[in-house]
Amino acid sequence: MPLTLTLTEGVLPIGTEKTAIARITDAFLKHHGMAGNKVMTDNVTAHFQVLPRSSTFSGGKEVSGAWVEWKTPSFALADRQVQQGFFAEATEIIHELSGARQPRDRIYVNVVHAVDGGWNFNGKAMTNAEIGAAADKG
C-alpha cells in the first residue's frame, strides 16, 4: 500500500522526510488496528519527492504544500472514524516536523482505492478477503 509524500522544497527540514514517512506509516497502521502486524507492515511502502516551489500549486497559484497520498485496497481508509483520525494525525505530523511553519490548510491528505482483487502481495493478485486472511496471520 504505497504512500506518496510530496513536499514543496523547504516545507520540512532536509533529512526529516524519513521521519515523516515512518510516523505516517505508523499512524496508518495504528488507525486500522494493525500496529505490529508484520504482514500489513511489510506491505506498506512509501516514497517521497521534493519539488521546487515553482512546481506546486493550489488554486492555480504557486504555494508551499505537502501532499500525503495513499493507494490502498478498497477496505483501507474506508471507515469514517479511521479517515478522520488518520487524516488529522498525518496533518499534525507534517505540521510538527515543519516546526509549525507549514499551515495545516496547505497539508493535503487523500486516498485512492483499488478495485477488489486489484492488489498484489508477493506477486499474487489478492481480493480484500484474501488480504484479510493474510493479515490475520500477521
As for how many domains the chain has, the answer is 1
Rounded Cα distance between 54 and 77, Å, is: 31
pTM of the shown model? 0.93
* pLDDT band with cut points at 50, 70 and 90 for residue 116: very high
Question: Of 8-22, 27-41, 101-115, 121-135, where does mean pLDDT reach its minimum?
Answer: 121-135
pLDDT given at position 102:
98
* pLDDT band with cut points at 50, 70 and 90 for residue 96: very high
Q: Which domain holds residue 88?
A: 2-137
pLDDT given at position 45:
95
User: In the 8-state DSSP scheme, what is residue 115?
Assistant: P
Rounded Cα distance between 41 and 28, Å, is: 10
> What is each CA distance from 127 to 46, 48, 61, 115, 134, in whole angstroms?
22, 27, 41, 9, 11
Render the burial of 96-105: b for 16+ CB within 10 Å, e for the rest. Answer: ebbeeebeee
Q: What is the CATH number of the domain that holds 43?
A: 3.30.429.10
The string of pLDDT tens digits covering residues 65-76 is: 999 999 999 999
